[in-house]
Structure formats: C-alpha cells, structure tokens
Amino acid sequence: MKTYKQPNSVGRFGEFGGMYVSETLMPLLLNLDKSYKKIQKDKKFIKELNDLFKNYVGRPSSLHFAKNLSKYINGPRVYFKRDELNHTGAHKINNCLGQILLAKKMGKTRIIAETGAGQHGVATATVCALFGLPCYIYMGSKDIERQKPNVFRMKLLGATIIQVESGSKSLKDAMNEALRDWIKNVRDTFYIIGSTAGPHPYPKMVRDFQSVIGKEAREQILKVEKKLPDYLIACVGGGSNAMGLFYPFLNDKKVKIIGVEAAGRGAKTEETAATMTSGTPGILHGSYSYVLQDNDGQIKEAHSISAGLDYPGVGPEHSYLKDIKRVKYFGITDKEALEAFQTCSKLEGIIPALEPSHALAYLIKAFKNKHKNKVVILNLCGRGDKDLFTAAKAIGFDADE
Amino acid sequence: MNNLDTLPKKKILSLFMTCGFPTLNQSKKVFNEMLSYQPDIIEFGLPFSDPMADGPIIQEANKLALRSKLSTQQSLNLIKELSKSKYNTSFVIMCYLNTVRKFGLNKFIKNIKSIVDGIIIVDLPFEEEDAIKKSLSKNNIHLIKLISPMTDKKRSQKLLKNSKGFIYYISATGITGSNKLDYKEINKNVKSIKKMSSVPVLVGFGIKSKKDVIDISKKTNADGVIIGSALIQKYFDIKMDFNKYLKSLKKFIQEVKI
C-alpha cells in the first residue's frame, strides 16, 4: 500500500491547493512555510505545545461511547471524540495554540483572524490573551448577529471585533478582509487562519495541529475496542476538525471515512454550503479547490444554519480526498441538522454545536438499523452553547422568556 | 505589434478602470473619455466577486459592475469595441486567476489576441505562471509582473528574468487605494529593480493627485505611474451622478497628464 504523503513541497494535494495570492503576500507565505518547517522539528516547541494541550486545553479529549444514541440507531457502536470538552468549547483551540507559538517564534506582534461561528475567533482571542498579543477578529455582520454569545466572549478576552459588511457578510467575506489587513500590515502581523483552507502552508499546518484529534482517537479506540474503527464521520466546512480526525487514519484502508457538508435548504438549491456536492474546482482565498461558483467563476454566497459551515469553499485536501475517493462526502440540510441537534441533546445529555449536528444527522440517517457490530467514531468538534439562540428561533422556542 | 514595446521613456501614465462600472453602457462612456486623452496605458479591471488584493473603492466598483450580472464575455467585448480607437495606447487587462480559468485560457486568449498588449493576473504568483505565460507569449501578450516592497532581491531576480512590457511596483505594502507614499523607499526599490530589468517600472497603489504624480516623477527613478482607485473614487465623491462624474474625470485626467 502506498503511504499517504500530501501535500508536496509547494502545497499541492494532487492538483489542489497551491498559493494563489498577490506578490505582496507571496514572500510572507514562503517565509511562514520556512518557519513552520523549522519548528516542526523543534523539540522545545513540541514540548511547549504538548504542555499547553494537556494543561490549558485539557487534552486528551475523551472518547465517549454514546450508548443511548447507539441503541436508538440500532446499528453500529458510536463513539464521540469529545473535542467540545476542550477549553473554549471546540477543536479550534488546538490550531490556535500551534499558530500563536509559531507567531511568537517569528517575532510577530499583532494577531488577526477571521471567524464564522465565532469559535475560531474565541480560540484566537483566548491564545492572544494568554500570550499578551493584540488581537483583531474579522467577522461578518450576519454572523455577529447570529453568534452573539461568542462576540461577547471575544470582547471579554480583549479582542477587537471588526465588523465586515461586504459580500454575504459571513465567513468568506471575513476572510477577504483579514487577508486585506494582512497585505496592509505585512511586517508585524501574523494571520491565524482557522481552517484547512487558504494558501499553502495553511491547509497543511492547520491539519497538522488538528491531527492531535485523530492520533488520540486512534489510541483510545484501540484500547476499548481492540481494533480500528470501521467508520469515521465529521462535518466539513473549511474542514479542519475533519482533517484532524481523518489524517492519522488515511493509510488504514479498511477505515471508511465520511465528510458531511452543510446542504442548507438542499444541495440542489441555491441556498447551500455543500461545496463538494454542488461546486466545481476553482480558486478562492489563495487555494485551488472545490468552490461554489457561477459560469464566470464568480463565487456564490453560501447558506447554512450553521455559521461555521457557511462557506462556499473547502480545504484543498478534502477536494483531493474526494477525487481519489478516499473520503466520501454527503450533504445534510438545516432541518436534518436541527433534528439531530435535539436528538443528541435528549439521548446523550450533550448539546452539540450545529456544525457536528450535521455529522450526527448523517449518522442517524445512513446507519439506522444498519451496520450492526461496526464501530463509528464521530468528531463532536464543538458544543452547542453558542447556537442556543439560533436553534431556539429555528425550532420556534422563545428564548427570551 | 505590441504597444507596450514602444512605451515612452519617461512619465508613463497608466489609468485603471473596472469594466462595467457603474453600468455596462456608462462604462463605455468612461473608457471612451479616458481613451480620448490617449494615455500610454489603459488597464481594464475584470470584475471579480472576491477581489482579495483590492481596497474598498475598487471592491465597490466590482460590486456595482457585477450587480447587473456582467459576464466575462461582455467585458472582453467591451475591450474589443474600444480597441477601434486604441491607436498608440497599450491595452492591459487586470484580473484574478479564477476568471481566466473558468472562461478557459485558450478561449480567453482568442478573445483578446491582437487587441490586448498585456495582462496582470493579480493572484498568479511567479511559481504558478509557466503554462499561462507560454500561451500568452505565443500570442504576443505580455504577462506583467508585480513587485512589492516585501519581494527580496533574490526573488526579484527570478521574477524579473525575461520580463516584458513594464514592471508594476506596488508602492505601499497595501491593497489598492492605500494612502502612504514613502518616496525614499520607492526610489531605493525602483533603482534596484532597474538594475535587474530594462523594461519601464511603473509605480501603483496609493497615487491620488497631480502632486503625487509629479513627486513620483521628481523624487524617484520610476518611469511612470498607475492610477486606479482615485479615478473611481470621484464617482462616489459626487454622489454617483454620472454626468458630473464624466466631467470630474476629464478634469482629473488632464491634471495628472504631466
């Protein structure tokens, strides 16, 4: 069996990925790539990061056997990789710690980030507070409205929120503005990208920092089940939690891997964020990957009830994994995700974020009364606190009462 | 014949404008107005939904142009139509790579061959340019290079090898339409570029007034300037009254033609 070895030295996953940015940013990305390569072998860096993972984040996150949900599905034994238990409530912190340590090493003094659901914004604001660096978070006004608790969290942590009014006023536009900020402030600024998207080396770097999820899950499942899982399931927006779980299993051909995208009001409608189901290859945010676009290559606006998945692009490694058929991708609608959100809360006593609710919905739908004696690991990558208002509104519950 | 090969030696003026801005019909009038002054170069911006390297003014122009569902083909047709009164002016397209890719490189070249002299693909770095550059040069279209203050000497040398047309020097580390001009730094970098390449060096990003144009000419070694955002800004300054806009554009172009 051929060992999986992606990307190549210029950030290509097959034909996907690359660095499509203006010359103002090119030298910075090349420098970032060089610095990242260096610290990967730096024992002090690795030790520092592992200490933070253990004592600040609370890693390893547990692998919980979801007994009630498994019984309800009447199919496989389902395990949750509980990255929602991390400090700040999602997997995003794993990557932010890695990147801020790198920023420190590179002597950068100002941090910027984009955020959709606010989880990456909160995680970035958190690590900036910890390391005493000024933090500027770009966030679409639509997302500010639907993720208010996280906006307040970021402010408490000392971050400055920059409201983005351009385009669809969500994650895509926040990323455009963050990139513009970086072009303007190239000398002192480090851009912490929150997903496995953007130009090289981000997709690789973010995957590497997140792959702690999959490494732990692998050890944990071998301990309890004495075998590798039969299936991995994770939601995919930009795709960082999914890559984190999938990456350490890519060489295990027997492990079937499933990525779940947000299909919004339906993958065949205009209101979707299911990039790989409904999109075509194109260039967005410096990377060649599947993207929602029209015949002229204009990027379409995405739609999803989940702000974290509301993105018309996807990380280039997912595009590659789709094309080589190593991972299968499916779409789940807003409505299906909302149902799973409630089912999981009632059955397991865990209120999941709307993002992993998409993965849960797929699991319930596709595995019901099937695949008995199989083992599934689902990445529960975020908790639902931030979504309470959105979900209440969608379900028709008056949360203000 | 490629007009870019016969650019004047000094005080080159390049004017940038977004195609289809504010509307396709008005855009024709805008470009005709610009053409009537026979600037050395006109840069045609192809609107893109996510113009990552452009500032708020050009972003807004893109948005307005795309509001009426302007297609790439319509933009290219507009350029073709205008080329009838092109004379010595060089035509340069400035765009993002996704536009060319989606349209199809060969079809794109077929549409602009013998009309357009050069193309700037903002997000196509030197590392990725080979195939495109080859196809363009076969059709006598120059791929124009951008150099930023962050580009170090070693990289500049690679980038500038066999450069054609002109070099676009990004004066401020910033997005189009930023404000600060540091003449000392510009001069230093332009001088160093000129040691590596014999084609003209034009300074763009942040040039807003006659004074800026004169200062670049006097205080630096650059061969000319590129003005973009400032031309578009006028439209918003006069509260989007199109007739007034044409007049103010006329006045401004007369001023900056030094």
- Supply A68's token pair: 């009630």
Mean pLDDT per block of 10 residues along chain A (401 residues) reads: 88 97 94 96 97 98 98 98 97 98 97 94 98 98 88 97 89 92 90 97 98 98 98 97 98 98 94 95 98 97 92 97 98 98 98 97 98 97 92 84 50
Q: How does residue B179 score in pLDDT terms, banded at 50, 70 and 90?
A: low
DSSP type of residue B127: G
CA atoms of A76 and A369, how far apart (whole Å): 9
CB contact under 8 A, B173 and A296: no
Residues 6+ apart with CB under 8 A from B239: none
What is the enclosing helix (H) or strand (E) of A30? Answer: helix A26-40
CA atoms of A163 and A177, how far apart (whole Å): 10
pLDDT value, residue A214: 98
Q: Is B43 a catalytic residue?
A: yes
pLDDT value, residue B28: 97
Given CB atoms, is A27 within the 8 Å cutoff of chain B?
A: yes
Lowest-confidence region among B32-46, B49-63, B86-100, B166-180: B166-180
CA atoms of A332 and A276, how far apart (whole Å): 12
- Supply A26's token pair: 């090119």
pLDDT value, residue A148: 86
Residue-wise pLDDT for A295-326, tens only, equals 999 999 999 999 889 999 999 999 999 999 99
Q: Is B54 a catalytic residue?
A: yes
* R_g of chain A, CA atoms, integer Å: 19
Please measure the distance between the N-terminal and C-terminal CA atoms of chain B and give it in whole angstroms.
26
Residue B181 C-alpha from the chain's centroid: 18
- Supply A140's token pair: 């679409």
* Nearest one of A76, A151, A74 to A115, comparing CA atoms: A151
SS3 A330: strand
CB contact under 8 A, A24 and B49: no
Given CB atoms, is A21 within the 8 Å cutoff of chain B?
A: yes
* DSSP β-bridge partners for residue B94: B45, B120
CA atoms of B135 and B115, how far apart (whole Å): 16
Picking from B49, B53, B71, the nearest residue to A183 by CB comes out as B53
Rounded alpha-carbon distances, angstroms, from residue A136 to A150, A338, B149: 14, 32, 24
Residue A359 C-alpha from the chain's centroid: 13
* DSSP β-bridge partners for residue B92: B43, B118
Given CB atoms, is A149 within the 8 Å cutoff of chain B?
A: no
Please answer whether residues B100 and B73 qualify as being in contact, where contact means their C-beta atoms are separated by less than 8 angstroms: no
Task: Give me the catalytic one of B33, B40, B43, B129.
Answer: B43
Q: How does residue B206 score in pLDDT terms, banded at 50, 70 and 90?
A: confident
Number of CB atoms found within 10 A of residue B99's CB: 22
Picking from B101, B103, B175, the nearest residue to A183 by CB comes out as B175
Given CB atoms, is A151 within the 8 Å cutoff of chain B?
A: no
pLDDT value, residue B49: 95
Picking from B49, B72, B173, the nearest residue to A186 by CB comes out as B173
Residue-wise pLDDT for B84-142, tens only, equals 999 999 999 999 999 999 999 999 999 999 999 999 999 999 999 999 999 999 999 99
CA atoms of A66 and A60, how far apart (whole Å): 18
CA atoms of A397 and A390, how far apart (whole Å): 10
Q: What region does A31 belong to: left with phi over 0, alpha with psi -120 to 50, or beta? A: alpha
What residues of A are in contact with residue B96 (Cβ under 8 Å)? 283
Number of CB atoms found within 10 A of residue A211's CB: 18
pLDDT value, residue A400: 62
- Which of A15, A20, A165, A186 best probes binding to B when mutated, by most B CB atoms within 10 angstroms? A20
CA atoms of A160 and B109, how far apart (whole Å): 45
Residue A338 C-alpha from the chain's centroid: 19
Residues in chain B: 258
Please answer whether residues A324 and A349 qualify as being in contact, where contact means their C-beta atoms are separated by less than 8 angstroms: no
CB contact under 8 A, A166 and B59: yes
What residues of A are in contact with residue B72 (Cβ under 8 Å)? 296-297
pLDDT value, residue A181: 92
pLDDT value, residue A167: 77
pLDDT value, residue B173: 59
| Separation in Å, CA of B128 to nearest CA in chain A | 8
Q: What are the φ and ψ backbone dihedral angles of A163, each rounded to 5 degrees?
A: -75, 130
What residues of A are in contact with residue B103 (Cβ under 8 Å)? 296-297
| Separation in Å, CA of A20 to nearest CA in chain B | 5
CA atoms of A142 and A385, how far apart (whole Å): 18
pLDDT value, residue B176: 54
Given CB atoms, is A180 within the 8 Å cutoff of chain B?
A: yes
What residues of A are in contact with residue B49 (Cβ under 8 Å)? 167, 298-299
| Separation in Å, CA of A76 to nearest CA in chain B | 43
Task: Give me the catalytic one of B40, B54, B117, B223.
Answer: B54
Given CB atoms, is A23 within the 8 Å cutoff of chain B?
A: yes
DSSP type of residue A39: H
CB contact under 8 A, A167 and B101: no
- Among all residues of chain B, which has the CA nearest to that of A26? B125
